[in-house]
Amino acid sequence: MTADVELVGHPAHSVARGGEGLDLRGRRVLVTGAASGIGQATARILARLGADLVLTDVAPLAETQKQIEALGLRSTPIQGDLTDDEFLKDLVERARPFSFAHCAAVFSRDTWRPELSARARFDLLMQVNVRAPMILASACIESMAERGGGFIVLVGSAAGRNGGGIGGGTPIDYAASKGAVHTLVRSLSRRGVGRNVLVNGVAPGPVETPLARGLDFPPESLPLGRIGQPEELAWPIAFLCSPAASFISGAVLDVNGGAFVG
């Protein structure tokens, strides 16, 4: 930081006056779901802000690493399964993050994991979309509080707001899981804010990611006439991971091009 920047508030998430609030140099940020989509875009934006990245996904992370290296930076990949409790515990202990962005999610369809029963697919969806962020964020609150504070961002969905998304095509279990994520944001905020850990969320509308492939979003149903790009979610997530968000906690930011207002 430059010498003329004035810092106020707790040192872990001080307000930077002088345009440095988004500076994440020297800060470690954990990003889940980093192999593609919103998670991959979030990793790129955080890297541009100088963050020291720890990336995780059940899928290979080589492409995301390559994109970050193209920016002249390095990252630490930790490939693993978010349904594995031992992996979740180890992940937070290894990362010890200043900020945590949970972007991982699964989206159930009849063609998703066809070897599983409908009940097993539902249980898996809830494990990844709800239980994993609950466990990881709870552990991050403890870890961050010991070091003075930090930031947590959970990715919800407009479907968690309105129950079905644009055109009503979103599966009911996915909508329910994202409504649960929004509740997690509020509950975790109450647990963390007094310990200088600020917990927030973002609620995307339709975004061009692998998760949304095969879904139909008629342009006339979208106020901007198009779906979002991953980077348009990544910037708000990065903001909420930074000292620029030093007085925000318990909020779920709607990032959906005006598709949901409420």
Catalytic machinery residues: 174
The partner residues of 8 in beta bridges, in order of sequence, read: 15
Beta strands in 190-235 (DSSP E): 197-204
Separation CA 247–CA 14 (nearest Å): 10
Whether 199 and 250 have beta carbons less than 8 Å apart is answered as yes
CB contact at 8 A, 32 and 56 = yes
Taking CA atoms, 238 is separated from 25, 123, 178, in Å, by 13, 30, 20
Angle at which helices 118-126 and 172-192 cross, to 10°: 20
Asked if 243 contacts 13 with a C-beta cutoff of 8 angstroms, the reply is yes
Q: Return d(Cα 76, Cα 78) in angstroms, integer.
A: 7
Q: What is the helix (H) or strand (E) element at residue 174, kind and residue range?
A: helix 172-192
Separation of alpha carbons 73 and 54, rounded Å: 12
Q: Residue 206 has which token pair?
A: 């339709």
**DSSP symbol at 18:** S
Strands 15-17 and 6-8: antiparallel
